[in-house]
Chains A and B, each alone.
Chain A
Amino acid sequence: MALVEIEVNGKNMSSEVEERQLLVHFLRDDLNLTGTHVGCDTSQCGACVIHLNGNAVKSCSMLTVQANNASITTIEGLADGDKLHPVQEAFRENHGLQCGFCTPGMIMAAVDIIKRKPNLNEKIVREELEGNLCRCTGYQNIVKSILAAANKV
């Protein structure tokens, strides 16, 4: 077992974890933050995307111990109380989801894309979503939501 100190959604956590524990299981099983999903075992779907020190990464492909002393934001940490984050709001307004399974990862990825790419267009959004799969929407409204959010942020 190893002792880790991780800031999750603004709160400092100190925990004993197994070395082999994946970060996504720390979030879901130990902290009950079940908004972060697991959609594959090949590191390709992006349902598990969270922010590690501000960057979007796949929490299924890293160990909790690798995140020691880091700061993490999950989908639960995005809204400001009852006020949705602009990207969340844009997904709601533009019908950017159907079953919703991919949505937390999509939104965490989208926040990161908007931060990195000042002049977003449809082509760039589609390229940037390379690491996020959706089985329902055909991506149309996801792309629309992200472009709408980019104009607001």
Chain B
Amino acid sequence: MYQFSYLKAQSISEAVTALSSNPESKIIAGGMTLIPTMKQRLASPEQLIDIRHLEELKHIKIESNNILIGSISSHFEVSTSDIVNEHMPSLAKLAEGIGDPHVRYMGTIGGAISNNDPTADYPAACLGLGATISTSKREVKAEDFFLNLFETSLEEDEIVTQISFPVIKNSCYMKFPNPASRYAMAGVFVSKSDTEIRVAVTGAGEAGVFRWKEMEDALSKDWSVTTAESVKLSSEGVMSDIHGNSDYRANLVNVMAIRAVEKLINEH
């Protein structure tokens, strides 16, 4: 690992000031992505700004039918939170399926979405539930946050502070994990609220997480397993790598979507 300096920020504003005064600095939260990347010398920030201990970013609460999660909440905290388990078990289950227990203790929701790995789980929940992401500057809709592979609309000196998920009980995440890393080979988040049906797909899109409009439209007309089975994802724009080619992955997405719809119909 290359040399760098380390700042344990005492507040969000101190972290923002440090970020904006040195373009070569980087936020560190759980470090579960950043440190392995730095070990491989694929990233070499001059300064790390640690925010993991900031109390103002550490909360999980419910307010006017939204679950608000502070950005440094760990995957372990989300998966074991009474509030999340009671109001939106689909989100708790998603967090419990990330990586392994050691990664879940350290990794944070803010880090996971800021990184926008195309095979990460949380981006699917954000798009699939219509989350709002609060930063040190503004509020951004999930649709406008995830731009491309490892790319978000975050500016250089902007920090994710909170993610707000509307409570949609009728929601489910189905993932086919890569057997080695547990990252999603295909992950589908389906939600059905009073007003809309959303189907968000991770692990498959060449440009990262996306909403599968054809499936959403079909399910809005007829909410059934038969409909889920009849819509096929085109393999165009679907990732292809050593783990599976685009046809295989597109089919996996289909299977995950069918399972999610099936589970929701059986349970509700």
Residues of A in contact with B (beta carbons under 8 Å apart): 2, 18-20, 22, 41-44, 46, 49, 52, 55-58, 61-63, 65-66, 68, 109, 112-113, 116, 128, 130-132
Contact = CB atoms under 8 A, between A and B. Distances in A.
A44 B99 CA distance: 9
Contacts of A19: 3-6, 48
Contact of A131 (B1, B3, B99): B99
B100 A20 contact: no
Interface of B: 1-6, 8, 28, 31-32, 35-36, 39-40, 48, 50, 52, 76, 99-103, 105-106, 180-182
10 closest A-B pairs (Cβ-Cβ)? Answer: A131-B100, A130-B100, A19-B6, A55-B105, A20-B1, A131-B102, A43-B36, A58-B102, A65-B6, A61-B35
A56 B105 CA distance: 8
Contacts of B3: 18-20
A61 B105 CA distance: 12
A43 B40 CA distance: 11
Interface of A is mostly: mixed
Contacts, number: 75
Given A20-B1, A44-B180, A62 B35 contact: yes
A40 to B, nearest CB: 10
A46 B100 CA distance: 10
A19 B35 CA distance: 12
Contacts of A68: 8
Nearest to A108: B102
